[in-house]
């Protein structure tokens, strides 16, 4: 017989309240430097509070917490590898001239008035084709953020447009991991899930496009950057040629063929190194005061661009800031943050507090709106508490699947709510793996771009609005009687055991 005693709801709230309080205090004290290390300490303190309460009050063994930490950190290893490889690829693509070429052609082709709309739509198209918001942001997103800076746009607005488009594509692409995960967890077909999701996704994206369009038309000041002069300097310092785009095209083809992300990014970084040696043999001299002539010296610089900070001296302060890169080393602070976030999530799970909090959400599911709102709230809470979007999809999906079935709702309602609430909001939380990754890749703080990620902010709101009006929500015959009988049988079995 199972004698497991879960912490009470009030006790389970203590670590969450402690974390929120510490985070607010941390931001107040450290300001823009809050992500440089102090937030990691906050997460570890919250983990310690969780462990301390559970050990002192509920006599939980320390070994259980160690297993929880190891499990959560192990689950985050693929994300950490992807993050490091994104850093390597970004560094080599910058030095090889791929990103400078995007900026060079982009500032000449794109009309500043419709730049934000263009950035959003282009990101959406690439993300639909690749099924990956991370890859979209790490490739075309880096180029678009450079173009936006060159045009004088605020980086928060540019990052918001890129992220909005990338996560729209991630949601509706049949190639997306999160889309498939939400459909599978809820027990529905991937294409039925995508079709039903359009009810909330399309209006959210249309409103997002309108906002960016209005801002573009009514904002006359885009800075005083001379794009002609900038393009001229890029052409002088880099060998700009359309052949550079062969490398990103190869990467996109590999993604479309569903090659694993880690393999694709590794190949992208290797191709970037080759691109440096083939297309930009003279650029390596920009980062050294002494002439570099031998192949071995150039190779060292090419490899260094993958793992370390590189700051080419181009003669233009604006271009210097655009082409400077930190490679893998620029991702280490984010890796540290992920590990600390996973420790907090592991502590919550091992203590049983996570289960108590999620059960409380289940208990308030009475109407259609409260059911959807509880699911959405669980997704947001888990994104906040565990720092992982996959956990935020899987746990509510498994936990609420039977409840939706008992109430007679279509499984697509659950899968849509998971996507609208878990997938898109993960990037808005500074210590979530998605928020940390995109902030590091784009070089824009999470809280800086958060107000401008209109699609990500609108999606959960649209889900609640549709649920409130029961628009296109089919209610079947509940199965409460059957399930109550099953519950009685299970209780009887437990009593016999």
- Give yes or no: residues 290 and 343 share one domain: no
Both tokens of 184, joined, read 């599978």
- Say which DSSP state 315 is in: S
- Give yes or no: residues 252 and 394 share one domain: no
Residue 3 belongs to some domain of the structure: no
- Give yes or no: residues 315 and 357 share one domain: no
Residue 153 belongs to some domain of the structure: yes
**pLDDT given for residue 292 in this prediction:** 62
Chain-centre distance for alpha carbon 291: 41
Among 123, 186, 116, CA closest to 422: 186
- Give yes or no: residues 91 and 191 share one domain: yes
Angle at 46 between CA 43 and CA 49, to 5 degrees: 155
- Give yes or no: residues 133 and 83 share one domain: yes
- Give yes or no: residues 261 and 190 share one domain: yes
Residue 453 belongs to some domain of the structure: yes
| Residue range(s) defining the domain that contains residue 116 | 78-331
- Give yes or no: residues 62 and 182 share one domain: no
**Is 186:161 a contact under the CB 8 Å cutoff?**
no
- Give yes or no: residues 111 and 247 share one domain: yes
- Give yes or no: residues 93 and 58 share one domain: no
- Give yes or no: residues 319 and 402 share one domain: no
Helix (H, G, I), strand (E, B) or coil at 409: strand
Q: Which helix (H) or strand (E) holds 278?
A: helix 261-279
Cα(193)–Cα(412) distance, integer angstroms: 5
**pLDDT given for residue 96 in this prediction:** 87
> Length of the chain in residues, anyone?
497
Residue 252 belongs to some domain of the structure: yes
- Give yes or no: residues 154 and 252 share one domain: yes
pLDDT by residue for the chain (497 residues), tens only, comes to 345 678 988 998 898 888 888 877 877 787 666 666 787 888 899 899 999 999 999 888 999 999 989 988 887 788 788 778 878 888 888 888 888 888 788 767 777 888 899 899 988 988 887 677 887 888 788 888 888 888 888 899 999 999 999 999 888 887 677 887 788 778 888 888 888 999 999 999 999 999 999 998 887 545 445 566 667 777 887 888 899 989 988 987 887 787 887 888 899 999 999 998 888 877 766 666 566 667 777 788 888 888 888 777 766 666 676 677 788 888 787 788 778 878 888 898 889 888 887 777 767 767 788 888 888 988 888 888 777 777 788 778 777 777 788 778 888 899 999 999 988 998 998 878 788 888 888 889 888 999 999 999 999 999 999 988 888 776 655 554 434 433 433 333 233 33
Domain boundary among 309, 331, 353: 331
Number of domains in the chain: 2
Q: What is the dihedral of CA 340, 356, 12, 379, to 10 degrees?
A: 50
Domain boundary among 288, 305, 331: 331
Measured CA to CA in angstroms, residue 5 lies from 122, 152, 306 at distances of 52, 58, 50
* Ramachandran bin of 59, using left for φ above 0, alpha for ψ from -120 to 50, beta for the remaining angles: left
- Give yes or no: residues 110 and 170 share one domain: yes
Name, in order, each residue with C-beta under 8 angstroms of 463's C-beta and a sequence gap of 6 or more.
Answer: 200, 372, 376, 416, 417, 420, 421
Cα(340)–Cα(358) distance, integer angstroms: 22
Q: Which helix (H) or strand (E) holds 461?
A: helix 454-469
Domain boundary among 331, 365, 400: 331
């Amino acid at each position: 017989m199972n004698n497991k005693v879960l912490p009470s709801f009030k006790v389970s709230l203590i670590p969450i309240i402690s974390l929120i309080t510490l985070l607010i205090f941390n931001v107040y004290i450290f300001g823009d430097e809050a992500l440089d290390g102090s937030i990691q300490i906050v997460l570890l303190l919250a983990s310690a509070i969780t462990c301390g309460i559970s050990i002192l009050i509920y006599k939980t063994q320390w070994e259980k917490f160690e297993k929880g930490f190891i499990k959560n950190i192990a689950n985050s290893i693929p994300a950490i590898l992807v993050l490091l490889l994104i850093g390597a690829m970004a560094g080599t693509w910058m030095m090889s001239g791929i990103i400078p070429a995007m900026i060079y052609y982009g500032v000449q082709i794109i009309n500043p008035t419709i730049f934000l709309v263009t950035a959003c739509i282009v990101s959406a198209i690439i993300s639909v084709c690749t099924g990956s918001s991370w890859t979209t942001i790490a490739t075309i997103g880096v180029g678009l953020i450079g173009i936006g800076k060159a045009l004088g746009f605020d980086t928060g607005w540019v990052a918001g447009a890129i992220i909005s488009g990338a996560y729209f594509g991630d949601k509706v692409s049949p190639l997306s991991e999160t889309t498939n995960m939400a459909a599978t967890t809820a027990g529905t077909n991937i294409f039925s899930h995508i079709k039903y999701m359009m009810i909330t996704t399309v209006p959210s994206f249309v409103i997002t496009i309108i906002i960016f369009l209005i801002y573009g038309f009514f904002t006359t000041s885009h800075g005083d950057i001379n794009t002609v002069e900038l393009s001229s300097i890029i052409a002088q310092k880099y060998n700009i040629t359309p052949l550079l785009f062969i490398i990103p095209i190869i990467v996109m083809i590999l993604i479309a063929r569903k090659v694993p992300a880690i393999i694709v990014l590794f190949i992208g970084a290797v191709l970037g190194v080759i691109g440096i040696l083939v297309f930009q043999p003279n650029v390596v001299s920009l980062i050294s005061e002494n002439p570099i002539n031998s192949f071995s010296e150039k190779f060292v610089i090419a490899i260094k661009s993958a793992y370390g900070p590189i700051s080419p001296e181009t003669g233009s302060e604006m271009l210097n800031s655009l082409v400077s890169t930190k490679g893998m080393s620029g991702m280490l602070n984010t890796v540290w943050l992920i590990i600390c976030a996973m420790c907090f999530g592991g502590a919550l799970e091992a203590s049983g507090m996570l289960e108590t909090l999620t059960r409380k959400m289940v208990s308030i599911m009475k109407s259609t709106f409260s059911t959807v709102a509880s699911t959405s709230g669980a997704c947001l809470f888990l994104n906040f508490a565990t720092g992982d979007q996959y956990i935020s999809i899987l746990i509510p999906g498994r936990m609420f699947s039977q409840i939706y079935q008992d109430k007679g709702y279509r499984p697509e309602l659950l899968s849509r709510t998971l996507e609208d609430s878990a997938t898109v909001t993960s990037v808005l939380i500074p210590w979530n793996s998605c928020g940390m990754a995109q902030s590091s890749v784009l070089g824009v703080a999470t809280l800086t771009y958060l107000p401008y990620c209109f699609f990500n902010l609108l999606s959960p709101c649209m889900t609640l609005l549709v649920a409130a009006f029961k628009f296109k929500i089919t209610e079947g015959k509940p199965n409460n009687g059957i399930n109550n009988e099953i519950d009685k049988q299970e209780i009887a079995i437990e009593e016999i055991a």
